[in-house]
Chain A
Amino acid sequence: MSVSSALYNTFFKRNSVFVGTVFAGAFAFGVGFDIGVTKFYDAWNKGKQWKDIRHKYVTEE
């Protein structure tokens, strides 16, 4: 109860704060979502991407 009322008083009471929180949250969510999806993609395709097999073919001079 106190958590929800604190949440309400902090974020939801003023519309400007609410909208600002929504946009900031959207930015953070977008960045986090990109990172998460990229990590999942790399883990799913482990050993198939060029960055994983590059050391087999490219020899540094």
Chain B
Amino acid sequence: MATFQAVKKAVALNPTVRTLPSGIPFAPLLNAAVRAPHDPHAHGESGPRSDVAPRWAGGPSLRSSGLVTKTYTSVSPSVNVQQRFISTSAVRKDAPDVPDFSHYRTNPESNRALSYFMVGSLGVISASAAKSSVSEFLQSMAASADVLALAKVEVDLSTIPEGKNVIIKWRGKPVFIRHRTQSEIEEARSSDWKTFRDPQSDEDRVKKPEWLVMLGVCTHLGCVPIGEAGDYGGWFCPCHGSHYDISGRARKGPAPLNLEVPQYEFSEVDEKLVIG
């Protein structure tokens, strides 16, 4: 073992470079100014490298104490030292950075009432225009004054004897007025009206039992029925054979409804009937 150690020591050489305690390699005879050997990739350039500081600015030099590097002046960096980060994304912020516009804003307190007032005024005018449009349109469908003047008809009832029909014209349509006898009234009231096609009692159709007033237009297709005819002693429509009884109710044939009763009133003082 010992012989091997002695052999090893005899063979081992001193290191050419040793490291100082600070970690810097200590190389006393290193020629730092040596020029690089011929580089086939240098494209013919010779001399010191352009990015090396000039000799007077400092640099390594060999002193008695060894190799010393000293800088006499600060030189601009030979390479671009701008820092490059891996990411170029913008800096993240907690809240969006909105500029302060308060200098440009008007006072909301002073303008608010006026703004709402203008909105409300527009609403008032619009609402009244809409209401006016609707009401004017509906008035255009109403009867005009000349039609309304002819809309009422007066009939002198004293000229109609009992058991007779009278046909008058009212608003372009015939109106039947019958002065019913007592037996006809009893016949109209005694019938079982709940089984009829258009169930209606005689009390609902007349205001005074002896006066039957109704429109003379057949409810089937609008013909004018013939009085005192038909199977029920009332009216008979010659067009399609509808039979109406003495109260004007549809009893037989195609008529779906009873003869219509218009609006009418009796004026008590002078025995007159006002239709309309």
Contact = CB atoms under 8 A, between A and B. Distances in A.
A26 B110 contact: no
B112 to A, nearest CB: 6
A30 B132 contact: yes
Interface string A33-46: 10000000000000
Interface residues of A, number: 19
A27 B124 CA distance: 8
A4 B113 contact: yes
Contacts of B131: 26-27, 30
Contacts of B109: 1, 4-5
Contacts of A26: 123-125, 127-128, 131
Chain A, interface SS category: helix
B199 interface: no
B124 A29 contact: yes
Interface size class of B (residues with CB under 8 A): 10 to 19
A1 B109 CA distance: 8
B127 A5 contact: no
Contacts of A30: 128, 131-132
A55 to B, nearest CB: 22
Contact of B128 (A4, A7, A18, A29): A29
B117 A21 contact: no
B120 A25 contact: yes
Contacts of A18: 116, 120
A10 B220 CA distance: 62
A33 B116 CA distance: 23
Given A26-B127, A26-B131, A30-B131, A21 B110 contact: no
B110 A22 contact: no
Interface string A43-61: 0000000000000000000
A11 B120 contact: yes
Interface in B80-117: 109-110, 112-114, 116-117
A12 B127 contact: no
Interface in B125-144: 125, 127-128, 131-132
Contacts of B125: 26, 29
Contact of A12 (B120, B124, B132): B120
6 contacts: A3-B113, A4-B110, A4-B112, A18-B120, A26-B125, A26-B127
Given A4-B112, A4-B113, A11-B116, 20 more contacts: A1-B109, A4-B109, A5-B113, A8-B116, A11-B120, A12-B116, A12-B117, A22-B124, A22-B127, A23-B127, A25-B120, A25-B124, A26-B127, A26-B128, A29-B124, A29-B125, A29-B128, A30-B128, A30-B132, A33-B128
